[in-house]
Amino acid sequence: MIKVTYVAQDGTRTNIDADEGDSVMHAAVSNDVDGIVGECGGSMMCATCHCYVDDAWAEKVGPRSAGEDDMLEGAASEVTERSRLSCQIKLTPELDGLVVHLPEEQF
């Protein structure tokens, strides 16, 4: 299992034990984490899985792809250098303990 922490705008932290190979989006949706919608199911067509990778994890998670850049142009909340589509972050053992922050809104 890989631990992921989702931090809401109000500071509420939700800790999830996810399966290796799962995405940060799917782990959130299947555990009813408010703030990640994942409307397209992970096919990079919606941007409702927008999240901000915590500074401490940015290097391990790596940069977003050009396709993510394109989709994030339609994101509801501010896009920063830490913005990612959480459906595109696959959970590996190296990401055990990952912390992501949730945007204000997804629509």
**Nearest approach, Cβ of residue 44 and ligand FES (Å):** 5
Structure tokens at 37: 């919608």
Q: Using CA of residue 40, residue 44, residue 49, residue 50, what is the dihedral sign?
A: negative
Under the binding rule (CB under 6 A), the answer on residue 51 touching ligand FES is no
What's the maximum distance between 2 C-alpha atoms anywhere in the chain? 33
The residue within the footprint of ligand FES, chosen from 51, 85, 95, 100 (CB under 6 A), is: 85
Near ligand FES in 2-31, by CB under 6 A: 25
Find out whether 82 and 75 touch, Cβ atoms under 8 Å.
Answer: no
For position 69 contacting ligand FES by CB under 6 A, the verdict is no
Name the segment binding ligand FES (CB under 6 A); options: 2-10, 37-45, 53-61, 99-107.
37-45
Residue nearest to ligand FES (CB): 87
Helix (H, G, I), strand (E, B) or coil at 3: strand
Tell me: does residue 39 bind ligand FES (CB under 6 A): yes
Closest CA to 68 of 92, 91, 40, 33: 40
The site for ligand FES (CB under 6 A) is made up of 25, 38-40, 42, 44-49, 71, 85, 87
